[in-house]
Structure 1
């Protein structure tokens, strides 16, 4: 298990007369990038979970985890968790880990058990209900002894127990994308289907303590990372940098329509992120309600998890800030630079996302019919313009042009198309990547790359990152070899055209 750094932050804030308790900030010390869709822990500060001050700030064995958990409350007015409750939560987490379930699954399981039994392994309940999840022998969940076993009961909740065939969480299509209360209800079939939602914040806190090493969701990076960014048609898009535009369109595509604030909607000094088109505010409806807090948290977690793809520098939500520069510190307390406080200045009613401007792995501003340069703008001038050159390096003549750039520099798809990868061309290195548009249609080739970030058959858009400049194969230094085949022909085919001329005539924008 990866080690967790757990920092107690007993900060009390007062917003609109309601005390809000800043809760544990938990950082997973891992070399795994957020770009792998392993979303961070997040503490929403919703006012439902309190931390007892003067707590230990160490993590480690189960005893230390218990101490951390025993600082939490289910909600305001509840006592702190007992040793029995924390032991049962640890058991649920261990089964979750053994089954390879995500942190989202652990959160759902914990919230369900809080609603059903308050994390107590009950001997009875409504009718013949038993145990942590109040499962019933009469409805096929197993014998009383099996249901009373916390390990077996948790496996049954997930649908991975041999003693019951009842539908579990992992049997439900798309369960990770469902609201927590809906996912729990599909397993529990309770007479109070919305009751699980109230425990979502504290369940997230417990899941963060116990499952910080678990992926946030089990969805693949290709599914959870931004892969397209359809035009919203909103005036707010005007003036946004490519990264900010990607954030806005990706959030809109994934989470639905919101009110957004960009360049002109926020008063800002010259040089600020908003003034320069490097920030987007996603306004959250019902931000004072648990449902609004949960929705805003989901967005904040997703954009942070995809920080590299989106070109993000920092995110602010509910008086907490996370930044790439201080990633190891996790979510930190945030105070507006003016020192003033209100729901907007404290970012209680919106998720603020600031970006670099032109560093994302996909250029959202490039429409699907456009052509863009395959390297960042800083290296366009390094085009060797050596198509058709001859010499000892080539059997006949040079079939493309070379863009000099440091190894690791992003390589972009010059146009929309489908990825083909040829591993039989030793001159190009391990891979010759092609972006094709069909038989007898445009294809572009990319060689000598040190890394490929796409897969065969994947659809790409203009400006989407497909890999990194390298020095592989027949190469004397870091550069991108780029070819254009107007009819998807062979390397020396008559359709092989001068790529430098083709780009200068067709590229509508560069990559910043």
Structure 2
């Protein structure tokens, strides 16, 4: 794989900002870059725009991507960042954006930011309904789901300056949903159908449809109703209440420190595990319950803000609306009952 790493390009660590630079996140424009740093920004801008052009996306998509990369990495291909974040957009392997090597490839990272029917799992720009009519900063936030949502709009002018230097046409027309499964936001998307036994998805699971939307970040303000003693976001707590009603009060647990996996959504109050009463590979009743829990979660994801579901060696993403093989994310043993999620359904919420 060919990886372009132009940063730091002569700059020291404190000259190139990471996703969460020291000081107050969300402050205004960075000082205008000059010399080698500006040259590398222009080079990365051209790579991002080349991806957008090849996909048939409008210039507005390039502008939003440039604003986002300026906030996240100062438009540099960083090999470090907050937690496990790397690359131009500070995408996280632990959140499903790909391997560190994938994300450090600027072309891959740009394609991942723009989204569509191909992996990785998190929703990209084209998966966000109505993004062309959003404020530019809000569209960026819909993809990044940042704790500092106001930062992106502050970098519009700088993004336009770099685009001008790179001779990028930000007024270019295009299909705002190019590459999205099912076509544009108004196009018909097929009704979920059960997967056939022995097929890629296993017995009884339904693919559903892409359901990515604009889900603003939330703080952990609600005591976990599953009794862990931790705190959940309001959206996660609402999902618990809905699941208990619809699924006849299954056994579940949400908040957990997850010290072995600091990138997990559990300590952030954005994830729950629904237990099926045993290994679904060995107990038919457990498999049937897990399929039922997973299918209901997928079918209601657009209303509840579910981001992804893991069950029975598969992971479903709101971005793609499809089940794909689950490899453990480099943390879990996918062959074990727990690591492969054969004994519980994992649900992560935006």
Same fold (TM over 0.5): no
Whose Rg is larger? 1
Q: Which has the higher strand share?
A: 1
Q: Which has the higher helix share?
A: 2
TM-score normalised according to structure 2 size = 0.39
Higher relative contact order (CA 8 A, sep 6+): 2
